[in-house]
Structure 1
Amino acid sequence: MNADAATITHAQQGAWRIDATRLWDRLMALARIGATPGGGVDRQALSAEEIASWRTMIDWALQAGLEPSTDAAGNLFIALPGTDRDAPPVLAGSHLDSQPGGGRFDGVYGVVAALEVLTTLAQRGVRPPVDIVCVAWMNEEGSRFAPGMMGSEAFAGVRSLEAVRAVRDAQGVSVADALDALHAAFPALRRRTLGFPVKAYVEAHIEQGPLLEAQEHVIGVVTGIQGKKTFDIVIEGERGHAGTLAMVYRRDALEAFTRIAGALYAEIGGYDEAVKFTIGRLQVEPNAPSVVPERVTLRIDLRHPDNAVLSYLGERIGMLCDTFAAPCEAAVTPLVDAPSNGFDPALQQAIAQAAESIGELHMPILSAAGHDARHMAPLCPSAMIFIPCRDGVSHAEHEWAEPEHVAAGANVLLRVLLPYAGAGEGAAP
């Protein structure tokens, strides 16, 4: 049948479900691309593995009669065509890249859930008023190329495409070269304008925390995302012989690091219960057992839901480094400055109502982790749907989500997007 948008009744909507088996099988199929021995996934941004995942996603899209495309920032779009192809589309998705020892659900769940919704609508012959588009944002994780969320930042105009393309990974490969290789792998793929207008955005994701599981709720209605700042710090000392250089004359960069780290953990990490402070990367040079270290490079991740506190603590990081670096010198380079944001109240209500309609308990929840939805929120009404992950574990090989929760989140996404497909009464604005 051809379900004209205006004829989709509430009774019809209530009976609609995504194909839970197909959704799960596709998640497991993508988990085999970049699979690790411990059961996780290593699928780095713009890698051969991500190119393979694109190929799989595009094959599934074409089988369903959907239209794949990309943009200059390496974002993948899969569209269910609407009657007005020039109107701003509705987007739903997340990302396909993973941490080096990541799990099977982080990011990829939101992309496959969105594809499943579009496939379900296409199979029922729905032609929405505007395009409904599944999106996989480029380099959300930031593990190969730093910082993360490059695709959504470039799309939203937060970071220029030139700045994104200039970044290099640890092996010296530039985003420019990796992006060009990605596009070369799909020469026939239509190219969209970077940063086109969007009507609304919804992202489904595992919680990456323990709250839903602890409260025995299946659906999290995400109220917003806590703010985040990241910094690169380079401590410069002087190389010396470990056996001949007296302690009093040393400019030991690692010793300076221990003082700085102690002060940062005490003041920043201990500021209040809401703060999240992490030194997540450390490099010592020359990293030789009989040489006084001349340089230490570290990466700091700072998060807090209160933007005023986040700004204050961010300023204190530089001050503490200056205070405790001597006789060495410390240079602090800000990388990410993403304030806390809230999500659209009407979409939050729609998510809650969708959860109730399929009999699932829901609760409001603040996202402690960052997501691409952060950059979409200033552009259009945006929201996120969380489902539980076992023990709150993510960014680990044993990350896990139950199949019934995976299906429930996708069914909620379906019901949130149905009004945009032209449900008549109660249709989206």
Structure 2
Amino acid sequence: MTKIISNLQIDSARLWDTIHETAKFGATPKGGVRRLTLGPEDKQVRDWFRGACEAAGLQLHIDALGSMFALRKGRDMSKPPVGLGSHLDTQPTGGKFDGVLGTLAALEVVRTLNDAGIETETPICIVNWTNEEGSRFAPATMASAAYAGDYATDNILARTDAAGISVGEALDGIGYRGSEAVGARKLGAFVELHIEQGPLLEAENKTIGVVDRGQGIAWYDGKVTGFESHAGTTPMPLRRDALVTLSEIVLAIERVAKAHGPNAVGTVGEAVIAAPSRNVIPGEIAFTVDIRSPSSETLDAIDNDLRSAIAEIAARRKVEIAFDAIWRKPPTVFNARLVEAVEHATKALGYSHRRITSGAGHDACNLASVVPAAMIFVPCKDGVSHNELEDATQADCAAGANALMHTVLALAGVAS
């Protein structure tokens, strides 16, 4: 493993300033950020990022889905670049750090290398992936998924938001539909820095999470069909109540996920009564389920147990229950060589650390199927994310950026 240049550190104040400077684009009264994909605030931050990358001497390329690739030349331009970055879009009530830290830390890495006059053997490429959050357009992480070949570009361009505006129309509206084909810009590796979005690092007083895997995800759409009837005249034993049935399903999901724990979680995130009325027993209700585990076998076992529980509930309550699997992403196993590079850099810098599994999906999880990839986590206050209260310390952000820089240097090599 390449020995790190131990006295080379990023500019902590400069990184902190850029995080807060970009937080002005879509700033909310509660101190968060609302910067939906391909909206006016996203254009503002993209324009800022374009200017910052060009000022750092990078060549900017934009693909057909609006992902931005800022290339720093290496001594050997025949080698595919080492990629680093994340995203700049946020949730409707998002924070300053989710995704943003990884993208701006990547910029800070390049600025630091420029200041130190360091040329790498292999080129470096900062990436801002379009629509990681999925809060305006579905699916989430759509641009990196298309890069990995999971979706055709035209399929993604045709996706629409709640107002019926397509991805293609939105890209044209802010001027960020690029000419480069999705996937044409090959990367030799990809490393993403991110806040943990969970409580483990803070609880254990660790500075760096060396991410070695990401959870698998299974999504389901469900529907309970009972029978609408009068709330005042239908005796309790004769009811076919869709909502009460769903309550049993929700408890079954909690029970099954706990039974397969500690590395399994299950969530009912949406429930919609078809024709709600105060004095009508609900006859139809649609719901969604999100199951996650780092083990494919556990996902399979949970699926089997849930289907058995749902069948029993349906028969006992004399209702119909549809439970359809609509999406499944296998667990991600990050590249062992890159994970070791992150761990080596972290140890050499003297940061406390632990191996960790990513509970959330990230662009790096998509990239891992086509490019050697890894992730670095830093703590966030109380494990809170996707919330305006999301917070992280300047010291932790700087530590993550330093670990990122030295990992990238180990992969890209310093030109002699």
Normalising by structure 2, we get a TM-score of 0.89
Q: Any residues of structure 2 matched to 1:156-175 within 5 Å, and which?
A: 156-169=148-161, 171-174=162-165
1:32-82, Cα deviation, whole Å (9 max, x unpaired): 222222222222233332222212211211222222222223322222134
Tell me how far apart the structure 2 counterparts of residues 291 and 195 of structure 1 sit (CA, whole Å).
Answer: 56
Q: Does 1:356 align with 2:347?
A: yes
- 2:263 paired residue among 270, 274, 279: 274
**1:136 paired residue number:** 128
- Among residues 186, 191, 194, which one is paired with 2:183 in the alignment? 194
- Number of the residue aligned with 1:120: 112
Say which is worse superposed, 199-208 or 256-265, in terms of deviation: 256-265
After superposition, residues 249-288 of structure 1 pair within 5 angstroms as 251-288=240-277
Is it true that 1:53 corresponds to 2:42 in the alignment?
no
Deviation of 1:248 (Å): 6.4
Task: Please list every run of 5 or more consecutive structure 2 residues that lacks an aligned counterpart in the other structure.
Answer: none
Please provide the CA RMSD for this pair: 2.8
Cα contact 1:129–1:420 (8 A) shared by 2: no
Pair 407,51 (structure 1): closer, same or farther in 2 beyond 3 Å: same
Residue 152 of structure 1 and its aligned partner are, at CA, apart by: 1.4
Name which of structure 1's ranges 295-304 and 399-408 shifts more when overlaid on structure 2.
Answer: 295-304
Deviation at 1:155, TM superposition (A): 0.9
Write the distance in 2 (CA, Å) between the matches of 1:414 and 1:359. Answer: 14
Give the structure 2 partner of residue 223 of structure 1.
212
**Contact 2:210–2:377 (Cα < 8 Å) also in 1:** yes
The yes-or-no answer on 1:92 pairing with 2:84 is yes
| Aligned mates of 2:160, 2:310 — CA distance in 1 | 26
- Find 1:410's aligned residue among 355, 379, 401: 401
Paired with 1:422 and 1:363, the residues of 2 have a C-alpha distance of 25
- The alignment partner of 1:115 has SS state of helix
The match for 2:35 is 43
Aligned-partner residue type, residue 181 of structure 1: A
- Compare 186-195 and 337-346 and name the one that shifted more: 186-195
The alpha-carbon deviation at position 105 of structure 1 amounts to: 0.9
Of 180-189 and 13-22, deviating more is: 180-189
Read off the aligned partner of 1:29 and give its amino acid letter.
Answer: E
After TM superposition, the structure 1 = structure 2 runs for residues 167-186 of structure 1, keeping only pairs within 5 Å, are 167-169=159-161, 171-174=162-165, 177-186=166-175
Q: Are 1:72 and 2:61 an aligned pair?
A: no
Provide closer, same or farther for how the CA distance between residues 238 and 142 of structure 1 changes in structure 2, counting only shifts above 3 A.
farther
Distance 2:222 2:158 in 1: 20
Give the deviation of 1:91 after TM superposition: 0.9
Whether contact under 8 Å (1:206, 1:389) holds in the other structure is yes
Contact 1:61–1:78 (8 Å) recurs in 2: yes
State whether residues 279 and 298 of structure 1, in contact with CA within 8 Å, keep that contact through their aligned partners in structure 2: yes
Conserved? CA contact 1:154–1:195, under 8 Å = no
- Match status 1:305 vs 2:294: yes
Q: Which of 377, 389, 400 is the aligned partner of 1:386?
A: 377
Q: 2:303 corresponds to which residue?
A: 314
Contact 2:190/2:371, CA 8 A, preserved across alignment: yes
In 1, are the aligned partners of 2:228 and 2:281 still within 8 Å (CA)? Answer: yes
Higher mean C-alpha deviation, range 339-348 or range 119-128: 119-128
Higher mean C-alpha displacement, 399-408 vs 326-335: 326-335
Cα deviation for residue 322 of structure 1 reads 4.0
User: How far apart are 1:337 and its partner, in Å?
Assistant: 1.3
Question: Quick check: 2:209–2:356 contact (8 Å CA) kept in 1?
Answer: yes
The one-letter amino acid paired with 1:273 is P
> d(CA) in 2 for partners of 1:144 and 1:168?
8
Map 1:363-382 onto structure 2 (within 5 A).
Answer: 363-382=354-373
| Cα separation, 1, equivalents of 2:96 and 2:82 | 26
Aligned length: 413
> Does residue 318 of structure 2 align to residue 336 of structure 1?
no
The answer to whether the Cα contact below 8 Å between 1:355 and 1:362 also exists between their aligned partners in 2 is yes
Secondary structure, counterpart of 1:370 in structure 2? coil
Q: Is the partner of 1:365 in helix, strand or coil?
A: strand
CA 1:295–1:54: 2 relative to 1, 3 Å: farther
State the alpha-carbon separation in 2 of the partners of residues 118 and 212 from structure 1.
27
Q: Which residue of 1 aligns with 2:199?
A: 210
CA distance in 2, matches of 1:392, 1:51: 29
Structure 1 residues 146 and 246: alpha-carbon distance in aligned structure 2, compared to 1, 3 A threshold: farther
2:6 aligned counterpart, secondary structure:
helix
| TM score, norm. by length of structure 1 | 0.86
Three-state SS of the structure 2 residue aligned to 1:191 is coil
Aligned twin of 2:26: 34
Alpha-carbon separation, structure 2, partners of 1:262 and 1:362: 36
Question: What SS does structure 1 have at the residue aligned with 2:400?
Answer: helix
Of all paired residues, the percent bearing the same amino acid is 38
Distance change in 2, residues 1:196/1:322 (3 Å): farther
How much does 1:320 deviate? 3.5
